[in-house]
Amino acid sequence: MTTTEALTVRDQAARARASARVLRSLPTARKAAALGAIARELRAREAVILAANARDVQAAEQAGLPEPMVARLRLDAPALAAIARDVEAVAALPDPVGQTTPEEVQPSGIRVSRRRVPLGVLGVIYESRPNVTVDVAALALMSGNAAILRGGKETVHSNTALEEAIRAALTAEGLPGDAVQVIRDSARERMRELLRLDDLVDAIIPRGGAALHRYCVENATVPVIVGGIGVVHIYVDGSFTRVPEDVAKAAGIILNAKVQKPSACNALDTLLIHEAALPALPELVRPLLERGVVLRADPPALAALKAVGLEAASATETDYGTEFLALIASIRTVSGLEEALDFIAAHGNHTDVILTRDPAQAERFVADVDSAAVMVNASPRFNDGGQLGLGAEVAISTQKLHARGPMGLSELTTTKWVVVGEGQVRG
């Protein structure tokens, strides 16, 4: 039994709290050096990490876990190399800690500013994604935070191997190994203990399905940052299907949005199509069908597809508002932008896209859609920390308090007021 396994969750949180005090004032260069050491350790331990992951994948397949979950669990050499590069990318990002607003002098003569500081101790709960272990470690360390990680039982061997690599790198750099810890006991009671450690943990960030998020919100006394779930829409305006070149561009965006990584939270779920664009629908979705995507369409879209011999199922109301996380997509015909906006307002909050050549329509869409990310003529798959310049992300927040969208370094910090005086007292 290792030291980590012998600790209670409260013990781990107390050690994380002590580590956070060391990290919060650590110079940028030392944090970057620690991340560089982690990347090197990941590469040096490739065989050990992949062997541990293979055990998890085999157990998941034998247990009958859904293929999307197994796909998110699986690591190979290129994926591990990419994870190591992501760590190095985070190390190269500007450090938000210590950033200070310009001082303002108040009538009393005091000089007031705000300084960006770490949150402290992060509790991250996730399912089936061992890459999250490293992403969180890199982002937490670079932003001066300690992290306690609770992955699903299906990732126990992968996460243990990754934790050991991270701990070895931190220790080699003279930093506390307890700055990143994995809860290896997969019992739900351990997760509930973490959720209620409000005296030691500063924020809980869940990554997983709606049930996990709801459980965290209902059981936590620690503040919970909710995100990572939500339906993704692409609205095809009639103006984007008037010339063959635009139809080809739209088909490419739609294909990328659905099949590049179907299990991702920013993959396409529902295609909204202007009724004037229905003649182009077969060409828009033909690449999807060729890649094995199951389409569920409303009557107008279904008729447009069947008229040219393309197969689709009849959509039901439950197909709208569903996050599929698989090679399934629904199609809904709308009369125009207003109906599309109403539909997205009822079903969306994550990532929503408009494909249009009308600047006024694009601006109206951007202004009115109340989601974490809104995109014009681009794939929703760009709603990702790495793609948006954050280096990596802990999660994509879909709530509105503190952070929204991909959570990178700045989103893992808060601010404190700094007041400098020369003996002033309040009258």
The whole-angstrom separation of Cα 278 and Cα 264 is 28
pLDDT at 2: 45
The candidate with the shortest Cα–Cα distance to 117, out of 197, 20, 38, is: 20
Confidence of residue 5 (pLDDT cuts 50, 70, 90): low
pLDDT tens per residue, range 290-315: 999 999 999 999 999 999 999 999 99
Residue 210 has pLDDT above 90, yes or no: no
The whole-angstrom separation of Cα 332 and Cα 38 is 47
pLDDT at 348: 87
Output 72 or 322, whichever has higher pLDDT.
322
Task: Kindly state the tokens that stand for 6.
Answer: 């012998």
Q: How far is CA 362 from CA 82, 182, 191, 376, 411, in A?
A: 35, 44, 43, 7, 28
Task: Kindly state the tokens that stand for 366.
Answer: 């951007």
Confidence of residue 78 (pLDDT cuts 50, 70, 90): very high
Average pLDDT over residues 352-381: 96
Dihedral angle, C-alpha 345, 346, 351, 352, nearest 10 °: -60
Residue 350 has pLDDT above 90, yes or no: yes
Calculate helix-pair angle for 188-195, 9-23, nearest 10 degrees: 50
Confidence of residue 192 (pLDDT cuts 50, 70, 90): very high
Instruction: Report which residue type is found at 9.
Output: V
pLDDT at 419: 96
Average pLDDT over residues 157-167: 97
DSSP secondary structure letters along 356-393:
-S-HHHHHHHHHH--SSEEEESS-GGG-STTTTTSSS-
pLDDT at 1: 36
Among the listed ranges 63-72, 301-310, 404-413, which one has the minimum average pLDDT value?
A: 63-72
The whole-angstrom separation of Cα 38 and Cα 397 is 26
Classify 409 in phi/psi space as left (phi over 0), alpha (psi -120 to 50) or beta.
Answer: alpha
Average pLDDT over residues 184-195: 94
b/e burial code for range 74-113 (CB count within 10 A of at least 16 → b): bbeeeebeebbebbbbbbebebbbeeeeeeeeeeeeeebe
Among the listed ranges 51-55, 381-385, 392-396, which one has the minimum average pLDDT value?
A: 392-396
Output 142 or 227, whichever has higher pLDDT.
142
pLDDT at 68: 73
pLDDT tens per residue, range 103-116: 999 999 999 999 99
Residue 53 has pLDDT above 90, yes or no: yes
Q: How far is CA 329 from CA 9, 271, 321, 369, 384, in A?
A: 41, 7, 11, 21, 21
Task: Kindly state the tokens that stand for 283.
Answer: 């060409």
The whole-angstrom separation of Cα 411 and Cα 408 is 5
Tell me the pTM: 0.85
Confidence of residue 344 (pLDDT cuts 50, 70, 90): very high
Average pLDDT over residues 30-40: 98
**Complete domains list, the chain, with CATH:** 3-225+407-420 (3.40.605.10), 231-382 (3.40.309.10)
The candidate with the shortest Cα–Cα distance to 409, out of 181, 135, 225, is: 135
Calculate helix-pair angle for 281-290, 244-259, nearest 10 degrees: 40
Q: Work out the mean pLDDT of the chain and round it to a whole number.
A: 94
Average pLDDT over residues 356-363: 97
Distance of CA 7 to the CA centre of its chain: 29
pLDDT at 228: 64
Residue 166 has pLDDT above 90, yes or no: yes
The whole-angstrom separation of Cα 126 and Cα 136 is 11
pLDDT at 69: 80
The whole-angstrom separation of Cα 103 and Cα 111 is 6
